[in-house]
Chain A
Amino acid sequence: MSRSLRIQYFALLREQAGRSEERLQTSAATPAELYAELKGRYPFQLTPDQLRVAINAEFRDWATSLVDGDSVAFIPPVAGG
């Protein structure tokens, strides 16, 4: 089943994707599948263990089921303060 997602990119991933967001039609059912798909499209070197997942601006699990219309972001290692 295909779903339409909004992907947001930040920091290093934003630079490597060359954009801060996009809409994507995908069959990826989880953030883990989605990130694997995006890695094929962009020169992402960060591995899932270095990233966290946010869906609709809440931290979520890599195995969460994605639904049509979700906003997904992968969070690189943070460095506030």
Chain B
Amino acid sequence: MSVFRFAGAAIDGAALRTELADPASGGFAAFEGWVRNHNEGRDVRRLEYEAFEELAVKEGERIVRAAIERFGVAHALCVHRVGSLEIGELAVWVGVSSGHRGEAFQACRYIIDEVKHHLPIWKKEHYTTGDSGWVNCERCAEATHEHAR
């Protein structure tokens, strides 16, 4: 079963949760990343996520399987959005079921941190001022900002 995938349309966390159901599990932890209306002092209107899906799926599978192994949890799954997202939309969902809560929280935290730092996924913010910028790409900002502020 795949443990990491991309979604081109709205993520349904409640539906994903049922994929992790397990009679031997007494705990379930989930993390949802939402699109926020501000970042680093700028007002954000919407986001675009882009991914190198072939590489990101392979690396994402490695991350989630490593978490299952390392923390000894029953099941784990991560789903990440691509495309255009509005404020409040679900951008990434991580869920973990396990015998006890401690390792479920730990595995969940591990997965989201690794996903954020290592997967080839990019986020372009569109600001209320009409311009836009790629996140974590400050030193290339001159080239992306179409505006003359």
Contact = CB atoms under 8 A, between A and B. Distances in A.
Contacts of B100: none
A76 B140 CA distance: 10
Interface residues of A, number: 23
A72 B121 CA distance: 17
A11 B74 CA distance: 35
A50 B50 contact: no
Interface residues of B, number: 33
B52 A79 contact: no
A33 B20 CA distance: 46
B80 to A, nearest CB: 6
Interface of A: 8, 10-12, 14-16, 43, 45-46, 50, 54, 57-59, 73, 75-81
Given A77-B137, A78-B136, 11 more contacts: A8-B52, A11-B134, A12-B144, A46-B140, A57-B58, A73-B52, A75-B120, A76-B140, A78-B121, A79-B122, A79-B134
